[in-house]
Every structure is written in structure tokens, then in C-alpha cells.
Structure 1
Amino acid sequence: MARELRVPEALTALPAPVRWLALPVALTCAVVVLVGSRGPAEPGVEVPQPGGRAAGYCRSLAAALPAELLGHARKDPSPASPYVAAWGSSPRTVLRCGIDRPEELDGDHAADWSPSVDDVTWWSQKLADGGYRFVSTMRAAYVEVTVPAGAAQNPFDPAAALSGVVRVHVPG
């Protein structure tokens, strides 16, 4: 026995074009609300693809990285990768392990300030937005720490705080 579909009176009182558009408009609004509720998209972080021993060193480093860095909780970008870690929210400090050797190390910036902490030498580069990029040198894998302006009281502090764990897990 077939069941009869009953349309509410409020809908039958509407002109036909309005009734026909009601469902598509409602579905479109639902999609907009769902997509909009996800919040702003996370800024993209390029994930390195190290090979060989460098990949192993980077995975070992990732497992040993702290859950907190200078009072900022670790909040890794999505999708998760053993080669990328981040602390804080906005601005946030980002570590990438297994990056390619920076071309700048061969150019005018090769002589830029390169402090050493715990036997890890960090080549530094001031970024256009006022932040800094630090890259470990003379190690089996290049480790990059990007510190945007305002992420730390002293831009070098995050790299310095990570030096010990880098030294232990990425041999020189």
C-alpha cells in the first residue's frame, strides 16, 4: 500500500518557482554554513621529503621534540608529518627537518650571523616580514626553524632552545 506524501499548507501557498527553489537554496545555505564553520584555512607549510639517512634522523628528531617550546604548546600543521613541527598559534614557530640545502648559503648571505649553541651552528636570515629563519649547518640533515616577528621575545630563542635535541638526533 503506497503512502501518500503530504505537503504542508504553507508550502502550497507559495508560487511554484519559489517552491522549486526552496530545497536547492536550503541545501546551498547548509553547505555554506558547514564550510564556513571550519575557520580560516591553515597557512601552508611545505613538507620536506628527505631521503636516506636524513629521513631517519628527522623521524628520530620528531619523536624527541618537546610538547612545549618557550611557553608555547606544540600544534603541528595538518596533515601531520614527521618532518614538520610547530609551536604556538599565530604567529607560530615552525621546524622543518630534511630541507634542501638553502641556495643562500652559497650567495651573499653565506657570511650572515651564524651563532652556535650546544655544538649546533645556526645560519640566520632576516625575513621580509621581520621574522627570522635559522638553518642548522654542518649536520647530516638540514633543520630549519622559522620564527615570525612576535613569536618570541628574542628571535633566536626557539632555535637555541631546540639545539640540544637537534645535536642528539641529527649528527654533525
Structure 2
Amino acid sequence: MARELRVPKALTALPAPVRWLALPLALTCTVVVLVGSWGPADPKVEVPRPSGRAAEYCRSLAAALPAELLGQARRDPSPASPYVAAWGGSPRTVLRCGIDRPEELDGDHAADWSPSVDGVTWWSQKLADGGYRFVTTMRAAYVEVTVPAGAAQNPFDPAAALSGAVKANVPG
């Protein structure tokens, strides 16, 4: 015995072309919503591997970092690491603690602008994409703050805002 398919009366009242397109349209809308919610992939952030005292200082710094930086919520990259923190969406400000000493500190860029805030000196480097990289100097561990173009009104503001936490947790 063949089973009869029951169609709801609301659908039978619609013209045939609308009924035929209802399911493909619903599926298309669902796919568009799902793909749109995925957003851009999390850019790869290289995780430093400090050791000894530098690792201790970086873990201490990680615990002291703010949940919000200049109005941007903290959104750390995955997988989580005590040596990396990030704020904002796209573009986002990224802090890495325990990086190797940048080779550029010995090269042509060694004399680039190096402002000090709260006793923390930040060596600065303009990046090819228009953003900036700031690295602490004269500290027990190197701390890097990368500020992409458009992430802050003044590119130095994130590093300046983090100076107090760096000073309190990474000795000079």
C-alpha cells in the first residue's frame, strides 16, 4: 500500500512556482546565514616560547592584562597561550611576551623613534601594511605590541596603555 504525502493547506493555497521555490530558497538563505556568521579566519599569531625567568614574567604579565584596551574587548587567538593576548576584531592589537630580541635593534632601524611611558621604553617600527610594531627595550623579557593600521586612532596608544602592566610585571 502506497503512503500518501500530505501537504499543508497553507502551501496548497500558494501558486505552484512559489511552492517549488520555497525549499530551495529556504536552504539558500540558511547557507548564506551560516557562511556569513563564520567571519574571517583567525590570522595566525606566532606564539613565543620564553624560558626561565622570562616565562615567569610573561605569565605574570598575562594575568595583569586588561579585559578591554582602548574600548576594544580582549579576544585572544586560539589556541590560548599565556604569552599572547589580543584586543579588538579586525584589525586587532596583539601583544606577545617573551619574543626573541628583534634583529632590527642592531640594524638600520635601531635609531628609530623609541618613546618612553611610565618608565617603559618602546622601540617602534613602521610596518609595510601601515601599522606599527612596538617592542620593549631594557626589560627582563621582550614584549611586542603590534598595532595594525586602523586598530587605534594613534598607533602608539595601545603600547602606552599597556606600559603600566609591563612595568609592574616585567622588571627593567
- Under TM normalisation by the shorter chain, which class is it? 0.7 to 0.9
Q: Which moved more, 1:142-151 or 1:37-46?
A: 37-46
CA deviation after TM superposition for structure 1 residue 123, in Å? 0.1
Alpha-carbon offset, residue 38 of structure 1: 4.3
Matching residue of 1:65: 65
- Once residues 134 and 38 of structure 1 are traced to their aligned partners in structure 2, the CA distance between those partners, rounded to angstroms, is 31
Aligned residues: 145
1:142 alignment counterpart: 142
Alpha-carbon distance between aligned partners in 1 of 2:70 and 2:161, rounded to the nearest angstrom? 8
The residue identity in structure 2 corresponding to 1:171 is: P
Q: Post-superposition shift, 1:41? A: 1.8
Whole-Å separation in 2 of the counterparts to 1:55 and 1:99: 10
> Which residue pairs with 2:169 in the alignment?
169
Structure 2 unpaired stretches of 5+: 4-30
Map residues 1-172 of structure 1 onto 2, 5 A cutoff. Answer: 38-172=38-172
| Alpha-carbon displacement from aligned partner over 1:101-158 (angstroms, at most 9, x marks no partner) | 0000000000000000000000000000000000000000000000000000000000
What is the DSSP-based 3-state SS (H/G/I as helix, E as strand, rest coil) of the residue aligned with 1:110? helix
Over the matched positions of the two proteins, sequence identity in percent amounts to: 87
Between the aligned partners of 1:64 and 1:120, the Cα distance in structure 2 is 16
Distance 1:134 1:40 in 2: 25
Structure 1 unaligned blocks of 5 or more: 1-7, 9-32
Separation in 2 of the partners of 1:144 and 1:69? 15
Amino acid at match of 2:143: V
| Alpha-carbon distance between aligned partners in 2 of 1:74 and 1:54, rounded to the nearest angstrom | 23
Cα distance per residue 1:4-51 (max 9 Å; x no partner): xxxx9xxxxxxxxxxxxxxxxxxxxxxxx7x96744321000000001
**1:131 and 1:153 mapped to 2: Cα distance?**
11
- Alignment partner of 1:60: what SS? helix
**Residues in 2 aligned to 1:78 and 1:102: alpha-carbon distance in whole angstroms:** 24
Cα distance in 2, alignment partners of residues 50 and 154 from structure 1: 30
Look up the SS of the partner of 1:166 in the other structure. Answer: helix
Aligned Cα root-mean-square deviation (Å): 2.1
2: CA distance between counterparts of 1:38 and 1:159?
Answer: 30
TM superposition score normalised by structure 2: 0.79
